[in-house]
A and B are shown apart, each in its own frame.
Chain A
């Protein structure tokens, strides 16, 4: 096929994002802005109790407010969906609370009105009467607590590996992933040194600037959902399952998302708006406020215990990891995270004996799930803090200590999977170079002390997932990509257009990427886990190649020179006018093996590995505990970048998010109530908090199984940020922070404690 431009490679170019003009001129479509004629607004009435049995709900005063269309409770929900429990791993979450409330902020009722202010006002008039139950909040205490959040576990069946949990009763421990490699106890006994440390993190909110929003319109036999979702295909399946309808009667549309970060995965308020629309025969929209998001989905709080046996020359011979994930009141995707991230808890090191226990635990807190890294930034923080502490204790340079123990290409990871296309050593070495690690470093001598630290982490891509894409060439030769990958700011439209363009040999800028509409766009597991460039990228590449091959064959059949005839001319010759389509389809489902239930071992645990290393230079004010990060260096293995400019902004964006999780973010609770549930009190970093210098670089690498050598990048920049900073603080002032976030007060208190002059509590 001949193209109108001269031949250039479409991948590997930093083309500007295709949607940039639409976005900066305010024309980009967001569900948040959408209104339909006759639409009702729903306002949720939420539990004020962390754990309680519902005695009664009085909605009469709310229903009597002028302008209120209807008030919905679980009783109404059951008339549409008799078994209204949802969740990707367990069917544990009711659309509206039934029998019990399990966390503060749980939806109990919904007021519907055509004026959102009326709905809000009326929702405040609802009164619920509860029998208060004892509540449990701590993830370690909850494992042995007599307080039970869910009496019986009901696996969802979506993921086959959780079937054996069916019917498990009277425990808050809803998944315990085990990995057993070698014999750690014998190795500890034989080790020259044994080190043990415990770390803690707090619950974090995703903070997409477009809060969670869904809008449903329905007939008696169909429903259309407009939803800011990262997983349109899964939303369709879950809504169809709840309604016991075939999938093709549920249509799910998305638009651009104002950020997702894992908050907009599986279903959130989609089932609720669906039920409300079916009950009222009107379109219903629910837009959460920023405050409500704190009660909807979060990132886990954790306790992590690590223990390592080390030889006197600095070889780690054994590592034990115990990780408790505070899943809150509903499992969401937490158990998958507990398993899928759990098996990397010992870090990117070549350790003969590994023992991992990763526990998903119910508590009476808001539900937790993945947030940009699916648990990896938390694990990396713990194992890279632990690793750094060991190096310091043995008086070995932290870089050298890592080199001695690094997991290298061709060696088995803890699961037994042989490492391939994982540039761990290249990332570490380049990090050392960009940090000028061997150059002299001025640590300061006055009030301000300086230090530096490094850290490296890795992540296995989500496994056994499928992407399907369609490429459609029109009669004039213009091409569209149909896929369910959602552009939530990460630049997937642009990257996928580049991949299709490369295969079709036309400019990426001329390709349109059709946004998810499940009536039109084919299945995709979801836009999460940095999987889209790799999985959807391959599906798009296959679809484009399929379309290209069909066009070439058509040209040949028509007697046209296949390589030089423009697409439009092929169609014109075929149909005698501008007409017709050629449709290519691509399906990608890379195979991997599930970890063995008893040992956690697997031959082929992941389609690809992501590697991220970060170095930090910090200044610590020893009189106040303030930490200024003066330099942050992020080095990544992303395979061969499709769009280097977007890769760079993904790395710095991820690093900035994790910087917030490190320095200032953390939900605070009082009896299960979030006491800082607003952006006035929950502080994401602003531009003046940013490190003075952020450097991003990718190492030369290639993912052989990825599209044009590429792999995912959305989360990689998060991995090493927290430990690099806490390692640098240790380097600067000799104190170790074992809890996140690293507030100035925490640092100052640690300094005083290290000086045997602990600051009084109040």
Chain B
């Protein structure tokens, strides 16, 4: 690792000013769990890192609104979310997914903003957040914008963010009676990056399905919603429907071969895990039913 400059701005606006639009060797750093590995491997050689550690503490806060809207500051550590009562009340699937996300040392320093901006398709939270319909607020030098997490990822390790834009906050809408589950499947060791992540969020009434969102990650270039499978689920819950939904998801998800397994094998995993994830969501007791 060669010497580089490290800036420690006191505000998010100041940080944005230090980033610049054109120089790929200038990058923001929050928890550093991903960036440091890239630097050690020589994949990334910075000239300047803009540390976000000293910016306004408000950007690390997590709150649950009266309507059930969850607002999570981008600098909130993953372990703070894991143990947050607001998260447990507003979107318990997030807290649950975090328990098997990497390890406690990583969760203690990694931030939710970094987790999203890194755009590694093997990350656990993006599929969960997409299933929940979450958005991020993004600040830039000229304009600020709200982007659904579903539209944040442009490809493998790529987001739609400009170099001088920073995620400020994550907004998870009220979940009402939705039930959500996330299952991940590893193929090389239990603590490996997932070979497949499947998140589902369901709004059901008996066997009737009002809304179903399924998100496939890790086996694909970026988190992907198999919309045909979602449509099948709206036919109502039955063993046959679950099987058809799994098969449809495997067909449409755009599964790729990599070191975790061949595409053919991972399509089988999608088939199985979509079914299992839907069953896991349906196994959650319906606490707050939106409809009577």
Contacts and interface: CB of A to CB of B under 8 A. Distances in A.
Interface of A: 117, 120-121, 124, 623-624, 664, 668, 675-676, 678, 680-681, 683-686, 688-689, 743-745, 748-749, 759-762
B272 A759 contact: no
Given A624-B272, A683-B188, A683-B192, A762 B263 contact: yes
B240 interface: no
Contact of B1 (A117, A124, A685, A689): A117
B193 to A, nearest CB: 8
Interface of B: 1-2, 37, 41-42, 185, 187-193, 257, 259, 261-265, 268-269, 272
Contacts of B262: 745, 761-762
B95 to A, nearest CB: 19
A26 B213 CA distance: 50
Given A683-B192, A684-B189, A762 B257 contact: yes
A675 B265 contact: no
A676 B258 CA distance: 11
27 contacts: A121-B2, A124-B42, A623-B268, A623-B272, A624-B269, A664-B189, A668-B259, A678-B41, A680-B37, A681-B188, A683-B188, A683-B189, A683-B192, A684-B189, A686-B189, A686-B190, A688-B190, A689-B190, A743-B261, A745-B265, A748-B268, A759-B265, A759-B268, A761-B264, A762-B262, A762-B263, A762-B264
Contacts of A685: 189-190
B191 A688 contact: yes
Given A683-B189, A686-B191, A688-B190, A748 B2 contact: no
- DSSP majority for the A interface? loop
B245 to A, nearest CB: 15
Contacts of B191: 686, 688-689
Contact of A624 (B185, B189, B263): B185
A670 to B, nearest CB: 11
A117 B189 contact: no
Nearest to A121: B2
A624 B274 CA distance: 13
A624 B261 CA distance: 12
Nearest to A678: B41
Contacts of B269: 624
A686 B191 CA distance: 7
Contacts of B264: 759-762
Nearest to A675: B259
Contacts of A762: 257, 262-264
Contacts of A624: 185, 268-269, 272
B2, B185, B189: most-surrounded residue (chain A CB, <10 A): B189
Contacts of B190: 685-686, 688-689
Contacts of A743: 187-188, 261
A681 B265 contact: no
Nearest to A746: B265
A623 B272 CA distance: 7
A740 to B, nearest CB: 14
Contact of A748 (B193, B257, B263, B265): B265
B205 to A, nearest CB: 29
- DSSP majority for the B interface? loop
A689 B265 CA distance: 21
Contacts of A759: 264-265, 268
Given A121-B2, A624-B268, A689 B189 contact: yes
A684 B42 CA distance: 23
A755 to B, nearest CB: 13
A734 B189 CA distance: 24
A120, A749, A761, A762: most-surrounded residue (chain B CB, <10 A): A762
Nearest to A118: B2
B193, B262, B263: most-surrounded residue (chain A CB, <10 A): B262
B263 to A, nearest CB: 5
B189 A681 contact: no
A680 B188 CA distance: 10
Contacts of A686: 189-191
Contacts of B257: 762
Contacts of A124: 42
Contacts of A681: 188, 259
A121 B1 CA distance: 8
B188, B257, B261: most-surrounded residue (chain A CB, <10 A): B188
B188 A664 contact: yes
A623 B192 CA distance: 20
Nearest to A688: B190
Nearest to A752: B268
B37, B185, B265: most-surrounded residue (chain A CB, <10 A): B265
Given A680-B37, A743-B188, 20 more contacts: A121-B2, A124-B42, A623-B268, A623-B272, A664-B189, A668-B259, A675-B259, A680-B193, A685-B190, A688-B190, A688-B191, A744-B187, A744-B261, A745-B261, A748-B265, A748-B268, A749-B265, A759-B268, A762-B262, A762-B263
Contacts of A683: 188-189, 192
A147 B263 CA distance: 35
A689 B187 CA distance: 11
Contact of A676 (B37, B42, B259): B259
Nearest to B264: A760
A117 B272 CA distance: 47
B185 A117 contact: no
Contacts of B272: 623-624
A745 B187 contact: yes
Contacts of B2: 117, 121
Contacts of B188: 664, 681, 683, 743
A668, A689, A745: most-surrounded residue (chain B CB, <10 A): A745
Nearest to B196: A624
A65 B272 CA distance: 55
B191 to A, nearest CB: 4
A126 to B, nearest CB: 15
A664 B191 CA distance: 12
Nearest to B3: A117
B260 to A, nearest CB: 9
A603 B226 CA distance: 69
Nearest to A291: B41
Contacts of B265: 745, 748-749, 759
Contacts of B185: 624
A684 B272 CA distance: 26
Nearest to A625: B265
Contacts of A680: 37, 193
A202 to B, nearest CB: 13
A566 to B, nearest CB: 51
Contacts of B259: 668, 675-676, 681
Nearest to B273: A624
B216 to A, nearest CB: 15
Contacts of A689: 189-191
Contacts of A688: 190-191
Contacts of A748: 265, 268
A624 B37 CA distance: 31
Nearest to A124: B42
Contacts of A749: 265
A658 to B, nearest CB: 15
A680, A681, A744, A759: most-surrounded residue (chain B CB, <10 A): A744
A330 B52 CA distance: 50
Contacts of A675: 259
Contacts of A664: 188-189
Contacts of A684: 189
A683 B190 CA distance: 10
A688 B102 CA distance: 12
A696 to B, nearest CB: 22
A744 B269 CA distance: 10
Contacts of A120: 1
| Top-3 shortest CB links A-B | A688-B190, A683-B188, A683-B189
A11 B25 CA distance: 62
A283 to B, nearest CB: 23
B131 to A, nearest CB: 22
Nearest to B1: A117
